[in-house]
Chain A
Amino acid sequence: MIKVENLSKVFPDGTKALDDVSLTIPDGQFVCIIGLSGAGKSTFMRCLNRLNDPSAGKILIEDQDIAFAGGRDLRKLRRRIGFVFQQFNLVERLTAFENVLSGRLGYYGRLQGVLGLFSSADKALAIQALKRVGLEEKIYTTASNLSGGQKQRVAIARALVQEPKLMLADEPTASIDPKLSGVIMDLLKSFTKDGITVIVNIHVLELAREYAERILGFNKGKLIFDGTPSQLTDAEVDRIYAGSVADL
């Protein structure tokens, strides 16, 4: 269970990216976040695994507050949170297998990590993850030789080998062929069956309606909609997407 209490984030230039956000997400829920770009969706997501530091508030993951954790504690919490990026963020010169395996580095000490002494169990886990995302053919292919959709699936496999409780995906379909959006979303949704909570930032409203169990709407850093897809009426959509882009 994830519990966010009064989360705020103010950037050094004074912009309020998050304004007093509170919510609770039970295990295994598939949540989509919508809103204009700059509304605070990405910041919210990046605060959840502390790629951004919040200014105030609490983020309780399994009753542990991550909001102001640091050092080893933070690393321990982070390894149970998978993160899928819009730009995949793979190391282009490594193979798919090595990229996926690097997702396990949080479970190894410094020396083992530097020397790459991965256990055979973890190697099996990586291969299994690649199979699950449908890339058993491409295990030893260099990331730079993969297509956009394949790269994103490798990135998902990398998040998966972390054995996460929570999987965050920031616009995972924005940089790939629109036809493949469904494949990625299906894959992400399938993880909820294993009890993994999945939160997806998405700007395609149709995909959010189609896949989400619950939709969060952000506007100017405030959480202004929290409900099921059926509750998301056209009026609510207008409210979420209110304000011109120039204001932001």
Chain B
Amino acid sequence: MILTYIILAVLLCAATLFAQGSARRLMVAGAIGALIVFFVHPLAQLTGAYSRHLLAPTPFGFSFVEPQFWLIFIVAVAVLVTVFAKEPNAKVTGITGMAAGFTVLVLLWAFYNSSQSVVGVSSIPWVLETLIPIFFGAVGWVVSRMMLKTKQLIYGYVISALVMFGVGLYTFSSAAPITFDALRNYYRVVVKITPGQENLVIKDWTADLEFNNKERQRINAEWVASEKAIADAEAAKIKAQEVTKNSQSLGGQTLEFAQNAEREAGRSVRDAYSKREFLQKQRIDYGLTSATLEPLSTISNTFEMPKGYSIGRDAGEANARRVFPTRAAYGFGTLALFGILMLLGGAALFWRGMAALETRDLASGALLGVIIAILGFGFNAVEFDLGRFIKGFPFIEDFGRRAVPPDWNAILSEGLKAMTITIATAMIGTVLAAILALPSSFLAARNLTEKSWWGRIVYPLMRGFYNLDRGVDTLILALVFVSAVGLGPLAGVLAMGIHSMADLGKLYSEAIENAERGPIEALEASGAPGTSIIRWGVLPQVLPLFVSYTLYRFEINFRVSIILGFVGAGGVGFLIQETMRSGKYNQMIILVGLVVLMVNVLDFISANVRRRLVG
């Protein structure tokens, strides 16, 4: 997990330095990023008795008992000061960067190897309650700046301020923690444990002592047994392999049974190993390397609780926690990343010197820092883990092995039949969307609606509907329609029609808005009524674009309709799911190939037609 961040940092530095990019930018990114992490990213986990006691404070949160963490703040600021200095000196800035990066990395290393102390938690009040309204106000401010003309800006600001105030009223109200329970006491920090909490920890420990010792015995016994289980499973596997070899000549059902048995034996071996792995983890967590557990003596602040044991229920409820420095949260990784940026950026600056003073570096460096901080959060949120992928790779290999040789005869005709359903779904869904979008797009075009009072009312309504509809994906609509019209292509077609209508309508109306004004004006000047102007002045201009957009949408909808098959709309997607479920990978591979072929053929045709229409 942390490895991902370190690789990311080194790659970033290597790319920048190799391309002769700005080392100062790296340093600024590292410093700004470190400051963000210091206050925002969680560093390491604290555990209580329940999962709801789990907590991961920020470096700032830890700094009340680990004051050395303030160094992160200080060195980051020092880097910024030397970089932003009036007459920056490459040597001084470089040394500062290196020192800062080194400090951060050493701090992390020391923390990782520190003891699993027991601490208390306390909260800094009103953090989210204040930040959320400010966020809303800031969004309003940015939107106003982007959308409004100078004269209207004041209204934007007033509305933003009102929204900020309104949201603030809510977050500070007593109703807020009911609808949004994470709101109160969100930002929690680590503090010294009180004697009262300490007593509770000891009391809980003594109460659980007997149970814990029994648990240890059980795990130890299982651990010993697991060794034998592995040996047995291995032996069974070898035996099954022999049986398969012998029945090779017999063939037919006998061979099939033997192969199945062998597969089963292989699975048992894998299970036995993973069980042992799990037990090993537990042994470490429960400190099984030491002798039996003893009652804790009341030694102030130095708990001799073995590694891996968490505190008990009453202590947890009383806000005592155990710190697990080795259970790093993503802030550990991001902080390491930013430390490396400062270290390598500083080193590069020191030895390479400052090529030229680029003021742009500072803004882009800060932006880079913010982006990496957000990405760091994202990598964690998606549980990005290269190790897990590498560990699981044999399964993908196995998948590929079982997919060859492809079984043409069993599936090809059925697959082609399903393919026609998939194409038809995309076709009819798109046509339906076009039929719905064609008339409505004229109501969503500003240039056609702004002249009459009813147009000015219809325009925002139509636009609003499009935006709403665009947000509800075809898949979601399909599930709704399945409940209305039952499983089958009809639900898919309806969903596709309704969803694509919004996308097409938006594209159509933009084409109308970009239509040449001249011919429209000419027909207006001849006294033609509005509908006739649209038919003879607008439609001929936009029709080729409409067709082009519709074809493009059809390309997309073809791919969507495959996925629709997975939720029961039939077609090739459904077939892929079925073959996959029954483990017929050698048939599935044919279907996937068919889809790849069809996607490319349709794209090729549609792209050519479109080029001719608009090109």
Contact = CB atoms under 8 A, between A and B. Distances in A.
Interface of A: 49, 51, 74-83, 85, 87-94, 98, 102-103, 105-106, 108-110, 113-114, 116, 155, 158-159, 162
B374 to A, nearest CB: 44
B527 A110 contact: no
Contacts of A108: 532
B521 interface: yes
Interface string B555-598: 00000000000000000000000000000000000000000000
B196 interface: no
B149 to A, nearest CB: 13
B548 to A, nearest CB: 14
B109 to A, nearest CB: 67
The list of the 9 closest CB pairs from A to B, nearest first, reads: A113-B532, A106-B527, A79-B527, A78-B527, A89-B518, A105-B528, A89-B522, A83-B525, A75-B527
Interface string B519-560: 101111111111111111100110110000000000000000
Interface of B: 516, 518-519, 521-537, 540-541, 543-544
Given A89-B521, A90-B519, A113-B531, 17 more contacts: A51-B521, A83-B522, A85-B518, A85-B522, A89-B516, A89-B518, A91-B519, A91-B536, A93-B540, A93-B541, A93-B544, A94-B536, A98-B536, A102-B523, A102-B532, A103-B526, A105-B526
A105 B536 contact: yes
A105 B525 contact: no
Given A91-B537, A91-B540, A91-B541, A75 B518 contact: no
6 contacts: A80-B527, A81-B527, A82-B526, A90-B519, A91-B536, A106-B526
Nearest to A98: B536
Nearest to A115: B535
Nearest to B538: A91
Contacts of A98: 536
B542 to A, nearest CB: 10
Contacts of B543: 93
A76 B519 CA distance: 19
Nearest to A50: B525
A155 B534 CA distance: 19
Most chain A C-beta atoms within 10 Å of own C-beta, residue among B518, B525, B531, B543: B525
B519 A89 contact: yes
B518 A87 contact: yes
B581 to A, nearest CB: 52
A51 B527 CA distance: 11
A103 to B, nearest CB: 5
Contact of A113 (B525, B536, B541, B544): B536
Given A91-B519, A158-B522, A110 B536 contact: no
Given A89-B519, A158-B522, A102 B528 contact: yes
A114 B526 contact: no
Given A91-B537, A114-B535, A106 B522 contact: no
B535 A106 contact: no
Most chain A C-beta atoms within 10 Å of own C-beta, residue among B519, B527, B535, B541: B527
Contacts of A75: 527-529
Contact of B527 (A77, A85, A88, A91): A77
Nearest to B529: A110
A79 to B, nearest CB: 3
A75 B521 CA distance: 13
A200 to B, nearest CB: 16
A77 B526 CA distance: 9
Contact of B526 (A83, A88, A110): A83
A51 B524 contact: yes
A79 B529 contact: no
Contacts of B521: 51, 85, 89
A54 to B, nearest CB: 16
Nearest to B544: A93
Contact of B525 (A51, A92, A94): A51
